Amino acid sequence: MYAIVEIAGHQYKVQKDQQVFVNRLDAKEGAKIKFDKVLLLDKGGDVTVGAPAISGFAVHAIIERHLKGDKVLVFKKKRRKGYQKLNGFRPYLTEIRITDIKKGSAKKAAPKKEEAVDEEKPAAKKPAAKKPAAKKATKSTKV
């Protein structure tokens, strides 16, 4: 059984007891977290695709540790111009361990209250801004 889940803006294929490195999450080490945005679920050949997400399913995980990843080199070059630039950075990552993929209690969104539209009072319109009058060109005659 595996699932494709969106974590921190990226999509990952995860299964139970798998360790995944994701972009830094705002939670402490050892914290249990839940990801509700399950995009695809495969239960032994029975594939369920969400539109855009499957409601009711969640991926549960534990944060193992926060770390910095390997250096990523960014090299820029313009040929025949003598321009070369080398930069690099080490991304901040979080290592998580997937504990379970299961159907959880789906949180139902509270029904949105529609704002009452008063048909009697139309929306007030702002008057159009006046443009300055064009200057008249004067001819000067020399005597």
18 or 108: which leads in pLDDT? 18
Q: How many structural domains is the chain composed of?
A: 1
User: pLDDT tens-digit profile of 75-89?
Assistant: 999 999 999 999 999
In a domain, 36, yes or no: yes
117 or 102: which leads in pLDDT? 102
In a domain, 6, yes or no: yes
User: pLDDT tens-digit profile of 10-59?
Assistant: 999 999 999 999 999 999 999 999 999 999 999 888 999 988 899 999 99
CA atoms of 110 and 15, how far apart (whole Å): 31
In a domain, 135, yes or no: no
In a domain, 128, yes or no: no
Compute how many other C-beta atoms are within 10 angstroms of the C-beta atom of residue 57: 21
In a domain, 59, yes or no: yes
Q: Which two structure tokens, joined as six digits, stand for 71? A: 């250096």
Q: Domain range spanning residue 95?
A: 2-103
HSE toward the beta carbon, residue 56, CA cutoff 13 A: 5
In a domain, 114, yes or no: no
Q: Which two structure tokens, joined as six digits, stand for 62? A: 């534990």
Question: Which residue matches tokens 């299961």?
Answer: 102
In a domain, 35, yes or no: yes
CB 20 within 8 A of CB 11: no
78 or 106: which leads in pLDDT? 78
120 or 21: which leads in pLDDT? 21
